[in-house]
């Protein structure tokens, strides 16, 4: 039986298809000094649930996002090489991470395989090489196990219950912080959690919509 996410602990939700998840994990040394649990979750499943249109379906946005990811990598001094096709199906990599309960160094190695070496983990050769890198024999068999699929599904269900709508997302002090560029906000709120309860933050968090739905 799969265990639910501990919603009281600091969490970080990621998907291997996201270049910004990679860039944020490469800045792990800058994260707040607390033990974040890393949670693999399908960002495209989140998009479907919330009715969001994926970036790849908007050509101009797709071009900008890829350029922005490369710019951020160069700005941060992080090695970056796009995989041969994007988006790719990250399901196998997500299942593998869930199956082995991948820790920070392991998840980092998986991201680097994709975004530093420019490999596609969805192809037979790519996935086999990823399993070899991680020293995980019989990876194909492992990701087909019902418990593995149940664990990834539980991650998704728990993410939805917490309101997660995209990746990368931190959850800290029961609040969500989305995007690679949210790290400064995470660091600030880790030091000054009372800011989230300040009158102005509360006011803008409860603003009504001015558009008819």
- pLDDT, tens digit (0-9, with 9 covering 90-100), for 144-194: 999 999 999 999 999 999 999 999 999 999 999 999 999 999 999 999 989
In whole numbers, what is the pLDDT of the chain averaged over residues?
Answer: 95
Q: Give the pLDDT score at 120.
A: 98
Q: Give the pLDDT score at 8.
A: 79
**CATH top-level class for 11-205?**
alpha beta
What would the mean pLDDT of 82-96 be, rounded to a whole number? 97
Q: Does pTM top 0.75 for this prediction? A: yes
102 pLDDT above the threshold of 70 = yes
Domain spans in the chain, listed from the N-terminal domain onward: 11-205
- Alpha carbon distance 195, 190 (integer Å): 10
- pLDDT, tens digit (0-9, with 9 covering 90-100), for 109-154: 999 999 999 999 999 999 999 999 999 999 999 999 999 999 999 9
Residue 16: which residues within 8 A CB-CB, separation 6 or more?
Answer: 22, 40, 90, 93, 94, 97, 110, 111, 114, 121
Q: How many residues does the chain have?
A: 213
- pLDDT, tens digit (0-9, with 9 covering 90-100), for 22-32: 999 999 999 99
């Amino acid at each position: 039986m799969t265990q639910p996410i501990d919603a009281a602990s600091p969490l970080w939700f990621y998907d291997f298809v996201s270049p910004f998840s990679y860039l944020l994990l490469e800045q792990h040394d800058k994260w707040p000094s607390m033990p974040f649990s890393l949670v693999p979750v399908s960002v495209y499943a989140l998009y479907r649930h919330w009715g969001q249109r994926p970036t790849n379906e908007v050509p101009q946005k797709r071009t900008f996002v890829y350029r922005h990811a490369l710019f951020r990598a160069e700005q941060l001094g992080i090695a970056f090489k796009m995989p041969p096709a994007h988006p790719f199906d990250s399901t196998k990599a997500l299942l593998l991470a869930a199956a082995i309960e991948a820790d920070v160094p392991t998840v980092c190695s998986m991201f680097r395989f994709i975004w530093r070496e420019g490999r596609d983990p969805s192809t037979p050769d790519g996935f086999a090489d990823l399993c070899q890198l991680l020293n995980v024999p019989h990876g194909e068999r492992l990701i087909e196990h019902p418990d593995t699929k149940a664990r990834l599904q539980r991650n998704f269900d728990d993410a939805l219950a917490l309101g997660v709508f995209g990746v990368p997302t931190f959850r800290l002090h029961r609040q969500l912080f989305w995007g690679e560029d949210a790290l400064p906000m995470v660091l600030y709120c880790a030091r000054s959690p009372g800011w989230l309860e300040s009158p102005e933050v509360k006011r803008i968090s409860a603003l009504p919509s001015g558009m008819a739905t």
